[in-house]
Structure 1
């Protein structure tokens, strides 16, 4: 994807639609119905960070683009991802943030475009299994403060006491692989440009497999990452909660109200750090993001990988 001469692209993003206008505070992840959810569309300007990458830092803006090559190239081996690549992500976060302990706990590999997934699922019932992970085409932050805290407690129980003792954060590491991302780029909003009054908490409902249909059971945590046929579940990599609190936000009044950015033609030897949550006050503690479609898109479907990490700063006390 090439940026326009003005340094930005214009795109339509999907924002939260208030329930009185047909929106929904429930997001059913991993189902065909998730792509039929209604949103409020808004046209925005998305600025290219190229030639100014060093101006954006994680604690101020909520995101940071870094040079970071990896020994893993194809991301088609679960064991290598969860050992070799998880270790690389942990070391990268420590280097950038100064954190003393980083625990990667889950990942999503995406090789399918949103449109391809939508077309493949158009005749399926809302609660049917999605055909595979595709790029998320709506403005969101993966977890709220409470959602992040509960998620970390679940996947890293031996570190639960650290949540009450030291600074902690939830950070994602995102990168393309196989080739540069020239379509369906990831965009991310400057933390300071979205106000507290614009935030809308939502509930994410994770699926539980029952025969060929996904159903929800709020009394049961989904413990597994394997499907009945022995293949790895494309949505669940390790233990998952049935429900969690995430964030969306209200649409802006003008195209420049929210300060959106992207990295044009992002390469496999680059990584984005995305701050989902941070217990420290006075720093960026969430990041709204989304994939988007632009007229300048070209090339094959984007291949990308996102790793989710629990991050601890054991030398910094928890701020009350």
Structure 2
């Protein structure tokens, strides 16, 4: 029998006026909420703990993969150290797991659950309790242009590329607000997803918001330790009808979490992943 828990997921609904959906990445200090032009709906669903059979899920079928991957890196308060040693270590993990020729790390986010503190900057990012996908085809293409030399970007886009996130708990086991992932085989690309503008302080990006479907199958790895990671596929240019393209995901409240569990702290790296022979000008780390 599957080990499941019942919890609440927060899905998105299209704006009533059919305008382009958008939201602000930071909270409005006056309202205590994020400004947006669309609404959310809550759904009570089951999420399965795959601990013990996590090897049944891989990135090309489900869209994600759990991996045992101890790390000696602990200096997660030092941004320069993260971009140096931790990016390099993670780069090699992704190469080894995927067989990629080149990996370009382009950013990271540290999330800490701090009840009562609003997200107003990169330093106060909290777990995201909204079903979403980090990238759309348009924003993924834009990332290639942003993080590789312009004289080779167009050539790169003729070949297979992916955007993969590497997510890891830091400091302690992630019992509080764990990460749930939706099996790609349970989503309908045409009906479940809609592109949404995300407003940063200095630019506008684009993500996929996700509409509720009773077909969605949610998975998580209960009690992920600092020696465990999950690779999350956020985009794959191989659209052959068989390969997973992306992974909806969300933080959630696990009813089995002990009341005295430490608050969640995690790091998520984002990387462009290339497979074919590539020009030497493409950097390993952006």
TM-score by length of 1: 0.78
| Structure 1 unaligned blocks of 5 or more | 123-127, 208-221, 223-241
Q: After the TM superposition, which residues 70-109 of structure 1 pair with which residues of structure 2 at under 5 Å, given as runs? A: 70-109=71-110
| Structure 1 residue 22, shift from structure 2 partner | 11
Cα pair 2:141 2:157 within 8 Å, conserved: no
The equivalent residue for 1:238 is none
The equivalent residue for 2:284 is none
The equivalent residue for 1:300 is 262
Q: Quick one: which of 190, 198, 203 aligns to 1:204?
A: 198
Q: Quick one: which of 189, 193, 203 aligns to 2:186?
A: 193
CA 1:22–1:6: 2 relative to 1, 3 Å: farther
> What is the rounded CA distance, in whole Å, between the counterparts of 2:110 and 2:23 in structure 1?
20
Q: Which moved more, 1:150-159 or 1:132-141?
A: 150-159
Kindly indicate whether residue 168 of structure 2 is the aligned counterpart of residue 175 of structure 1.
yes
> What is the rounded CA distance, in whole Å, between the counterparts of 2:53 and 2:80 in structure 1?
36
> What is the rounded CA distance, in whole Å, between the counterparts of 1:13 and 1:301 in structure 2?
19
Corresponding residue SS for 1:91: helix
> What is the rounded CA distance, in whole Å, between the counterparts of 1:312 and 1:185 in structure 2?
29
Kindly indicate whether residue 222 of structure 2 is the aligned counterpart of residue 264 of structure 1.
yes
| Structure 1 residue 244, shift from structure 2 partner | 1.8
RMSD of aligned C-alpha atoms? 2.4
Q: After the TM superposition, which residues 1-320 of structure 1 pair with which residues of structure 2 at under 5 Å, given as runs? A: 6-20=2-16, 25-32=21-28, 33-34=33-34, 38-113=39-114, 116=115, 119-121=116-118, 132-158=124-150, 159-196=152-189, 197-207=191-201, 222=202, 242-252=203-213, 254=214, 257-281=215-239, 282-298=242-258, 299-315=261-277
Runs of 4+ with deviation above 6 angstroms: 21-24
Number of aligned residue pairs: 267
> What is the rounded CA distance, in whole Å, between the counterparts of 2:118 and 2:250 in structure 1?
21
Corresponding residue SS for 1:10: strand
Q: Deviations over 1:263-305 (max 9, x none)?
A: 0000001110000001112311111000001222230110100
> What is the rounded CA distance, in whole Å, between the counterparts of 1:10 and 1:35 in structure 2?
29
Cα pair 1:31 1:130 within 8 Å, conserved: no
CA 1:75–1:23: 2 relative to 1, 3 Å: farther
| Structure 1 residue 44, shift from structure 2 partner | 1.1
TM-score by length of 2: 0.86
